Structure 1
C-alpha cells in the first residue's frame, strides 16, 4: 500500500487523539455528573426520612396528628411522593393519596438508591422502617422522587456533547493540518535542496540553522553523505581522467607506428619488426586493462579472497626473485629481515608487495638498498619498506595512494605505466585487514618509508604506534596522522 501524505497522516492522528481525549472527558463528566445528582437525591430523601422518623416520635399515639404532620412535610414537594405500608402490605398513609408502592421489577440499586424508568419518566426511591411510639408494628416507608428533569438534562447534555465533539474534531483537523504543515517546513527545505542537487553542486550543504533537533541529525547525516558523494565523484573523475591518460600513450604509440609503417612500402622484415613492437605494446595495454578491471572488482567487493596461511618471508623472497634482474640492472640491492605468518589471499598479498617493490625500484637511486622488514607484534603484523627515494612533498600526501597518481608530473609523460601506490587491494581475508601508511622521514630516520600493517578485523583502530585510524572509502593509505581503511 502506497503511503499517503505525511501532513495528512499527522492531521488524522491529531484528530483521532483529540476525539479520544474528548470522548474520555465526556464519558468521565457524564458518569461523575450522574453520580453527583444521585448523591444529592439520596441526601434529600435521607433528610426527609429523618424528619419523618422525628415526627413519628413526637406525635405520640394519635394517628391523625401523625398523618397531618406528614402531609405538611411532604405535600409542599410536587416531585416527591410517599407511601407508608403496614406489615400486611396495606397502605397506612400516602402522599399524594393516590400514590402506591413502587414496583421494583425493573429497578436497579445504585449508591443505596433505587432507580427505574416508567412511561418515559425516571424515579429514585429510598425505603426505611418507621417505628411508632405505640406497640404497633413498624411501618415500611417508601419515598419516591421524580427525577425526569435530570433525565432531560442529561439527554440535552449528550446532544451538546456530540455536537461539540464533531465541531472540535473538525477544528482540530484543520489546526492539525496547519501545525503539521508548519512543522514539516524544514523537511520541505531539505527536499528542495536535495532536488536541486546535481553532479556540479555536490559541494553545497543544507544549512542547519534553526531546525528542530529531530531533523538536525538527519541534515547532518545528509550533509555527510553529500561530502562522501562529492569525494567519490571527484576521485571517480580523476580516476577516469587517469585511465584515459594511461591508455592514450600506448594507443598513440600504436597509431603512430602504424601510420609510419603504412606511409610507404617497406621490406617484409620491417613489417615483422613493427608488428612485434605493436604486439608488445598491445600486451602492455592488455596488462593495464586487466589491472584496471582487477581494481574495479576489488573496489566493489566482487573479488572473494581465499584465505590461506602465508609465510611473509617466503612471499618476500619469491618476489625478490622476480625483481632480482631489474634490481641488478639498476644497481640496487634488495634486503629482507624478520618473519611472520598471516591468513590472507596469496594473490592479493603478492600484488600488494609487488606493487610496493615496483614503486621502490622506480624511485630508488642506483647503488642504494631497498629494505623490507617484517615484525610480528602478536596482535598485528607490520611489513615495513624503506628506500632512499625522494621525500614526498606535504601537498601530495593526501593523494599518494590514489589510483594512478604520481607525485612527479613528468612521470605521466613517460612510458611508465601502473596504478601507483593506490594499486593495493585490501587484504580483508578471513580475520585480517590491511593498512598502508606513508611515514615521512623523522629525526631518527635516514629515509622516508612505507609501512604495511596487517591485523585482525575485529580491531577498529590502528595501534598507538601508528596513530588514530580513520575509516575511509576503498583506497588504502594516508599518512602518520590518519590512515584510510579499505575494509
Structure 2
C-alpha cells in the first residue's frame, strides 16, 4: 500500500530535521571539543608558568629542594594535575615516573597514562613540557605538567549522549508536527476529492468551487473543471451520436424488413422478386457505406495519421475529382472554376475522398446551373482548399456543427443513398490526419466549406 502524502511529507520533515540536527550537532561537538582542549591547555600552561617563574628567578642555595616541596604541595592540593621535573642534577628531579613521562613526550604523544602513587588507578593525562636553560644558581631543568583528561572526556561523552537523545527527540517531534501540518495543509485537497466524487452521470453540470480553493490548487481546479467540460461535451456528443446512429440505421433496416414482408405476403414472379432484391441491395449498400464511414472515423479519432505522403499539386487533385463527378455536374448543369494552386504532402486516396465529399456537398446544396468556385492557396505552414457555392444563408450556430456526425441543416432529416450525414465529418477526419483544420463560412448567400493540410 502506498503511503499518503501526509506520511511522505512527515518523513521528509523528519529527514530534513535529522540532517539539520546532525549538522548542528557536529558543529557544536567540534566547538565543545576544541574548548575542552583549550581549557586543558590553559590549566597546564598556568602550572608551567608558576614553576617556570621559580626556576628562572630563584637564587636560594637549596632551590631544588624548595621547588620539590612546592610541587609536592601542589600535587597534594589538586589531584587532577600532576607535575614532573627532570635534570642531570638529582636535586632537580621530581616524580617517580618523570623519565617515562619525558620519553612519552619526546615520542610526540600529547597524552600519557600515569599511575597514581600507592594506588591501582591509572590516569590518562594531557602533558606538556618546558625546558629551562641553566643559570648560575641551577642546572638546566625540564619541567612537565599534566592535567587529567578524563573529566573532559566525560563531559564530551555526556554531551554526545544528550545530543543524540535530543536529535532523536527533535526528529520525532518534527515528524509528528510535519504530519499534523501536512494533514491541515492537505485539507483543501480532501475537500477537492470529496467534491470530485460527487460528480457523476446524474449531475454532470456540477463543478469544483474555485473560490474556496487555495491559490496553489486554483489552477488545478480550473484544469479539472475544463476537463469535466470536455468530458461533458463528449458525453453529450456520444449520446447524440448514438441517437443519430440508431436513426440512420433504423430507416434502411425498416425498409429492408418492410419490403421483404411485402414480398413474402403473396406469390411473386421472378421480375417482381428481382425488383425487391434490387431495392434491398440498395439499402444494404447504404448500410455498408454508413458502417464503413463510421469505422473510418473511429480510426481517425484513435490518432491514426496519414501515411505514404506524396508531394502533389492540389489543383491537379481537384481536377481529377471534378472529372470523377463530371456526370453529377452535367445532370445538375453546374460548372467548377479552380483558382490558385499549392503543392503539399498528402495521402492521395484520403485527400481525394475529402475533395469528393466537399464537391458532392456543393452540388447537393446548390441550385441547378450554379458555379462552384474552388480556391487553393498556402497560408503560413499549411495549404488550404475551399469550395464555394450559392446556397441559402446558414446561421452561425449551424456552421459550427456542419462537421458533426450525422448533422444536417435540414431538420426533416431526409435520407437518401447519396447522403447520410457523414461526408463533412470525414473531411474533418482527413484534415486532422494531415495535421490540418476545417472551416465553414456563409456570407451573402455564398457558402464556403474547406480544410487545410500541413506543409511540413
Which of the residues 172, 189, 207 maps onto 1:205? 207
2:392 is paired with a residue of what secondary structure? Answer: coil
Write out aligned runs for 1:198-277 (5 A). Answer: 198-209=200-211, 211=213, 215-277=217-279
Write out aligned runs for 1:43-442 (5 A). Answer: 43-62=42-61, 63=63, 64-67=65-68, 76-87=77-88, 92-94=92-94, 100=98, 103=101, 114-116=110-112, 121-134=123-136, 136-209=138-211, 211=213, 215-302=217-304, 304-376=306-378, 379-412=381-414, 416-424=419-427, 425-427=429-431, 433-441=435-443
**In 1, Cα distance between equivalents of 2:439 and 2:122:** 95
Q: Quick one: structure 1 residues 31 and 411, their matched pair in 2 at CA, closer, same or farther if it must change by over 3 Å? A: same
Larger mean Cα displacement after TM superposition, 139-148 or 211-220: 211-220
Q: Quick one: structure 1 residues 29 and 396, their matched pair in 2 at CA, closer, same or farther if it must change by over 3 Å? A: same
1:409 is paired with a residue of what secondary structure? Answer: coil
Contact (CA 8 Å) 2:358, 2:450: kept in 1 or not?
no
Contact (CA 8 Å) 1:437, 1:451: kept in 2 or not?
yes
Deviation of 1:377 (Å): 5.7
1:173 is paired with a residue of what secondary structure? Answer: helix
Deviation of 1:353 (Å): 0.8
Higher relative contact order (CA 8 A, sep 6+): 2
Larger mean Cα displacement after TM superposition, 115-124 or 394-403: 115-124
Deviation of 1:210 (Å): 5.9
Q: Structure 1 length normalisation: TM-score?
A: 0.80
Contact (CA 8 Å) 1:261, 1:271: kept in 2 or not?
yes
1:14 equivalent in structure 2: 13
Aligned Cα root-mean-square deviation (Å): 3.2
2:312 is paired with a residue of what secondary structure? Answer: strand
2:30 is paired with a residue of what secondary structure? Answer: helix
Contact (CA 8 Å) 1:313, 1:374: kept in 2 or not?
yes
Structure number with the higher helix fraction is 2
Instruction: Summarize deviations over 1:51-80 as a string: whole Å, max 9, x none.
Output: 322222332143144555556666543322
Q: Quick one: structure 1 residues 211 and 83, their matched pair in 2 at CA, closer, same or farther if it must change by over 3 Å? A: farther
1:433 is paired with a residue of what secondary structure? Answer: coil
Write out aligned runs for 1:439-478 (5 A). Answer: 439-441=441-443, 447-457=446-456
Q: Structure 2 length normalisation: TM-score?
A: 0.85
2:151 is paired with a residue of what secondary structure? Answer: helix
Larger mean Cα displacement after TM superposition, 63-72 or 405-414: 63-72
Instruction: Summarize deviations over 1:395-415 as a string: whole Å, max 9, x none.
Output: 223212112211221234677
Q: Quick one: structure 1 residues 7 and 121, their matched pair in 2 at CA, closer, same or farther if it must change by over 3 Å? A: farther
Contact (CA 8 Å) 1:53, 1:131: kept in 2 or not?
no
Structure 1, unmatched stretches of 5+, are: 458-487
Contact (CA 8 Å) 2:18, 2:167: kept in 1 or not?
yes
Contact (CA 8 Å) 2:313, 2:341: kept in 1 or not?
yes
Deviation of 1:217 (Å): 4.5
Deviation of 1:301 (Å): 3.1
**In 2, Cα distance between equivalents of 1:167 and 1:179:** 18
Deviation of 1:359 (Å): 1.2
Structure 2, unmatched stretches of 5+, are: 115-120
Contact (CA 8 Å) 1:113, 1:124: kept in 2 or not?
no
Larger mean Cα displacement after TM superposition, 411-420 or 345-354: 411-420
Q: Quick one: structure 1 residues 210 and 87, their matched pair in 2 at CA, closer, same or farther if it must change by over 3 Å? A: farther
Instruction: Summarize deviations over 1:247-297 as a string: whole Å, max 9, x none.
Output: 122112222222333333344432221221111111122111111111111
**In 2, Cα distance between equivalents of 1:212 and 1:159:** 44
**In 1, Cα distance between equivalents of 2:104 and 2:13:** 43
2:92 is paired with a residue of what secondary structure? Answer: strand
Q: Quick one: structure 1 residues 19 and 116, their matched pair in 2 at CA, closer, same or farther if it must change by over 3 Å? A: farther
2:117 equivalent in structure 1: none
**In 1, Cα distance between equivalents of 2:223 and 2:112:** 67
Q: Count residues in correspondence.
A: 446
